Amino acid sequence: MEGPFKYIREGNGKVTRVIRMGTRKSQLARIQTDSVAEKLKELYPDLQLEIVAMSTIGDKILDTALSKIGEKSLFTKELENALERNEVDLVVHSLKDLPTSLPPGFTIGAVLQRENPHDAVVLHPKNAGLTLDGLPEKSVIGTSSLRRAAQLKKRFPQLEFENIRGNLNTRLRKLDEKDDYAAIILAAAGLKRMGWETRISQVLGPEDCMYAVGQGALAIEVRARDRDILEMVSILHHPDTVLRCIAERAFLKQLEGGCSVPVAVYTEMKNSVLYLTGAVYSLDGSDCLKETMQTNIELDNKVPESAEENVHVGITANNISQTALDAAERLGVVLAKILLSKGAKDILTTARQLNDAR
């Protein structure tokens, strides 16, 4: 029983393997990891789990806008290093933090059922009861996301948008204890998981603000060679969420977008048809390219011929129809190519340059 894994001997002499779960230290990350641990314990009652929390670059650099740090894997690198060194066996992430290309040797073994993927408005207590439309002119809205700012500047030109950083607790404290912001924009999913739903004044629909790729979904990253762990977590895959997120990630990857450019999506699965709306924006939202496409999703029993064949934008899903996965990925690629043919590259390059120059 030598090797990289950790084992414990129980009182009855039985030896059990311990599965070590890596997570960021923030309260939200811990809540998300605990929820995954609970699901695994329900499915595998004999499983021994240990949670290993660590800080990432994104947690440490709190005075700079994420889009300016210029690192694709801000919230994931340290966790992946631990995975590589066999210090943990799997890592729980917010899928939107994971780059569309993972380092060699890693794969996403499960994408769990998506929470509400939309963004939410959280108002300063003095503005209780209002919506963004009802706020006084020149009110300052805090958001750390170029995607949110670009869309909302276009939709609410009377408001002003400023950067706000920190984890959820920090941002809410900055909002409540100072008078700098009339409201802040946060992901509805995080607020709900933290039990702060009562703070949501307004959920922004796709006509106001489309969401980030993968927003609202949790992902479990594993070592691609650990077939047993891959099989163990794959039961947590939520097929609709997987297909929607593969289309979204393929769209982003084809555009070569990341944290430093405003790219937004909206997906829906209805009656075996997957709909994807994708858009790119200039930083001020004045330039926008937006298109919607759909594809039929057929859930047949076609299985992959090789392990490599079954990885779609970093996600391994052996228990979901290969035909369906291929169709979802193709949808994202084709939609991105349409936007690129209409000039998306120029919009994104300008946005990137302007952001770097700030």
State how far the Cα of 181 lies from the Cα of 178, in Å rounded to an integer: 8
Residue from 139, 135, 79 nearest 106 by CA: 79
State how far the Cα of 185 lies from the Cα of 164, in Å rounded to an integer: 10
> What residues act catalytically?
97
Q: Which two tokens stand for residue 350?
A: 């300008």
Q: Which of 35-40's residues contact partners 24+ apart within 8 Å by CB, and which partners?
A: 35/193, 35/218, 36/92, 36/112, 36/218, 36/220, 36/236, 39/112, 39/236, 40/232, 40/233, 40/236
- Helix, strand or coil, per DSSP, at residue 269: strand
State how far the Cα of 289 lies from the Cα of 307, in Å rounded to an integer: 36
250 neighbors 124 (Cβ within 8 angstroms) = no
State how far the Cα of 115 lies from the Cα of 197, in Å rounded to an integer: 13
State how far the Cα of 118 lies from the Cα of 266, in Å rounded to an integer: 9
Checking DSSP bridges between strand 119-123 and strand 183-187, what pairing results, if any? antiparallel
| Residue pointed to by tokens 């100072």 | 178
Angle CA 213–95–45, to nearest 5:
145
List phi, psi (to 5°) of 354.
Answer: -65, -40
State how far the Cα of 56 lies from the Cα of 317, in Å rounded to an integer: 27
For the chain, how many helices (H) and strands (E)?
Answer: 11, 16
How long a stretch of residues is the chain? Answer: 358
